Amino acid sequence: MSKFDTWIDHKVVQNIFVWSCFFLILVGTISSDNKPLTALYIFLFLAPAVYINNYFILPLFRRNNIRFVLFFILNLVVFTLIPCFIIMKSIEKDFEIDKFFNLFGAMFLAITFGMTMRITRDSFRRRQQEKEAELKLLKAQLNPHFLFNTLNNLYGLSVVKSDKLPDLMLKLSDLLRYSLYDTKEVLVPLEKEIKYLENYISLEKIRLEEKTNIQFTKSGNLSSKNIAPMLLIVFVENAFKHLGTLKDGNSKVIISLQEIDNTIRFRCSNTIEKLEPKDEILERGKTGIGLQNAKKRLLLIYPDKHQLSIEENENHFTVQLIVDL
């Protein structure tokens, strides 16, 4: 976060800026013989009213509406209506009802505006917290889901006592290190995500040996980009998990990643075997968690900045994702 963003997010700076703008607006709009002095009096009476309303009265809105209304009216009387009389008597030479209502209206609008800002800010923070909580939940669902599938591969090689097992364990160690430590951030360098994909693909090559045609190509300026962690791996993992062999004995997984004009274009295609209707229903009941989570994360992190298409025909399953970074 830049220093400018830090200043913008600072509550004290926000309050000083808002009150300064309001003071200038008062000086320019109120009808008074001494505008600066009148604006200063309004400021001194109005500031306590706004903070009392926002921090003590407004929280009652969701708990007890009757108490909220009563305290809100009391706050208006004590810090708005009565101060209006005091200001008019102290500063103005002649008491004029038009000036009184002008002053009261300005103070009432200020309190209402302050309350609206507080409600809006609280609502925004609550939505952000809900998004963060859901993202953490999705990540928590994703990592064990990936680990479970990888351990199945590890178990399969241990049964046959393959000499490739040590290399597989090393790849798994790198994968877990990334998923445990690097995915805590909302965004990670795209290079790390690509390295993660390459480790996973290498792991699958060890498992599948020469039985499957596996290709991974990349192009464009990928070194300076950031992306949501473990977003692309879901589609790659799904491709290997549901990899099928065609009638001619061929099977393949083709993955490509391109960067064009600050946009990532990802494509993952794999061969599949057409299931019988009964088997297909059973298979659907066991799968789809990863893809569902990926869709949710895309909606949360890249709203209106991504295009996801999933196509399935008799022989191939293809995922295409375009993300505007």
Lowest mean pLDDT among 115-124, 138-147, 275-284: 275-284
Lowest mean pLDDT among 66-75, 128-137, 141-150, 251-260: 141-150
Are the C-beta atoms of 227 and 190 separated by less than 8 Å? yes
Compute the distance between CA of residue 130 and CA of residue 300 in angstroms, rounded to an integer.
10
Element (H, E) at 225: none
pLDDT band at residue 180 under the 50/70/90 scheme = confident
- Domain positions in the chain are 3-125, 162-324
| pLDDT tens-digit map of 261-289 | 889 999 999 998 765 444 443 344 444 66
Are the C-beta atoms of 16 and 10 separated by less than 8 Å? no
Lowest mean pLDDT among 94-98, 235-239, 250-254: 94-98
Residue 255 pLDDT more than 50?
yes
Take residue 285 and report the two structure tokens written for it.
């009941």
- Which residues, including other chains, have CB under 8 Å from residue 230's CB and lie 6 or more apart? 139, 142, 143, 146, 179, 183, 193, 196
Percentage of the chain lying above the pLDDT 90 cut: 14
Residue 306: what pLDDT?
Answer: 93
pLDDT band at residue 139 under the 50/70/90 scheme = low
Residue 142: what pLDDT?
Answer: 53
Q: What is the mean pLDDT of residues 288-298?
A: 78
| Residue written as token pair 């830049």 | 2
Residue 91: what pLDDT?
Answer: 67
Are the C-beta atoms of 45 and 87 separated by less than 8 Å? yes
How confident is the prediction for the chain on average, in pLDDT?
Answer: 78
Which superfamily is assigned to 162-324 in CATH?
A: Histidine kinase-like ATPase, C-terminal domain (3.30.565.10)
